[in-house]
Amino acid sequence: MMTRFLSLLRPAAAVLVGLFLIGCSGASSDAPIPIGLNLELTGAIPKVGEHSQVAAEMFVEEINAAGGLEVGGQKHMLELAVADNTGTADGATTAAERLIADGALVMIGPNASVAAVPAGAVANEQKTPMISPWSTNPATTLGRPWVFRVPFIDSFQGPILAAFAAEEFGAERACVLYAADSDAPRGVADNFRTAWEQAHGAGSVPANESFMTGDESFTEQLGRIAAADCDVLFTPQYYNEVPLIVRQARAAGLTIPIIGNDGWSDPQLLELCGTDCDGTFYGAHYIAAGATGATKEFIDAFQARTGEIPSDVGALTWDAMRLAAQAIQNCGDLTGELDVNRECVRVGLTAIRDFEGITGRMSFDDEGDPIKCMVIATIEDGQASFYKSACP
């Protein structure tokens, strides 16, 4: 299997790759099928892009080792083109434009909502199927028939976690701490707060505190949260920020339960936080500990390859690749016209029902969002484990 990296700083080389890929995608013979990866390989969350790329490469290698993907009686090898979006909106749109121009039949990623929302606008405008493995912001797919996702969305995640906090701890007052300049944390925080106030009344979120991405001190916000006398703290942040927040919260004397979102669910959280995060809970798309069947097979293969347990985004990317492959097969044939093939893949995605993914069973609704369950995880002795399921 050949992975091609499209450097955004070397347009001439990328054009040559594009000419090759356009020829492949338009072919009706057994020519390779190009799949674009729009990933966070540098920037604030490079581990997200790394795990996503590894999972995609594993899938392609498995398909190609079996002779390729069969579409309409023809075997096609899969080929990846990778573009680094730097985890930013500008980087994501540039990467999307490049991958689409260079002939990707379908684009996988971006993952972070700050990148996926603007990239989704490009994919929809240029009528290229896009599947985000990890973005939970509703705006990623809303009103965009060409854009799909694998994870549950913020409008599901926020209320589910609010209900869990109330039921599990008998909480009546919740405090919230989130990054105001980051789409996913802000979206989940807004949905959590709305659901909480609907259930517990006005004033039941006495401290709704925010900060800016990159901040390392939360002393003032945590001081106001401590004074608010809350029963639970909700902080829907990424894995690299959580250890700072949790440690500073405990140092500020906060002993209340701390709950997070799927942004917590990366193995690096456990490396960075360890036992300091014991007793916390978070929403996740899957939990590696205790996995069985196809999920365990994926985890074992990923770990053998990298020495690491795959994060949520790795497992979700595996499912995104499988969904893309199934949609391509649903076409029944690949013509010599790229636009026709892309439309066929889009329709093929909308037709998928009861897909058995390693992150759960799912079907797409009218917005390209999956209907699926959430896993509630807890951390004890520095390790994450399954606590319970929460389903729509």
Average pLDDT over residues 76-105: 98
Backbone phi and psi for residue 54, each to the nearest 5 degrees, phi listed first: -60, -45
> Looking at residue 18, what is its pLDDT?
37
277 and 297 part of one domain: no
What range does the domain containing 107 cover? Answer: 3-152+292-358
241 and 383 part of one domain: yes
302 SS3 class: helix
> Looking at residue 6, what is its pLDDT?
54
Task: Look at residue 363 and tell me if it is in a domain.
Answer: no
> pLDDT, tens digit, for every residue of 317-373?
999 999 999 999 999 889 889 999 999 999 999 999 999 999 999 999 999 999 999
CATH classification of the domain holding 220: 3.40.50.2300
pLDDT band at residue 24 using 50, 70 and 90 as cut-offs: very low
> pLDDT, tens digit, for every residue of 128-186?
999 999 998 899 999 999 999 999 988 899 999 999 999 999 999 999 999 999 888 99
pLDDT band at residue 7 using 50, 70 and 90 as cut-offs: very low
Q: What is the reported pTM?
A: 0.81
173 and 188 part of one domain: yes
128 and 210 part of one domain: no
Q: Count structural domains, the chain.
A: 2
> pLDDT, tens digit, for every residue of 202-239?
999 999 999 999 999 999 999 999 999 999 999 999 88
Average pLDDT over residues 101-130: 97
183 and 247 part of one domain: yes
320 by Cβ neighbours in 10 Å (0-12 / 13-18 / 19+) ranks as buried
Task: Look at residue 61 and tell me if it is in a domain.
Answer: yes
119 and 162 part of one domain: no
Q: Is the dihedral of CA 85, 87, 93, 96 positive or negative?
A: positive
Q: What are the structure tokens assigned to 107, written together?
A: 């684009």
Residue 15, CB half-sphere, CA atoms under 13 Å: how many?
Answer: 3
Task: Look at residue 366 and tell me if it is in a domain.
Answer: no
Residue 25 clears pLDDT 50, i.e. is over it = no
> Looking at residue 314, what is its pLDDT?
96
Nearest to 162 by CA among 380, 311, 376, 385: 376
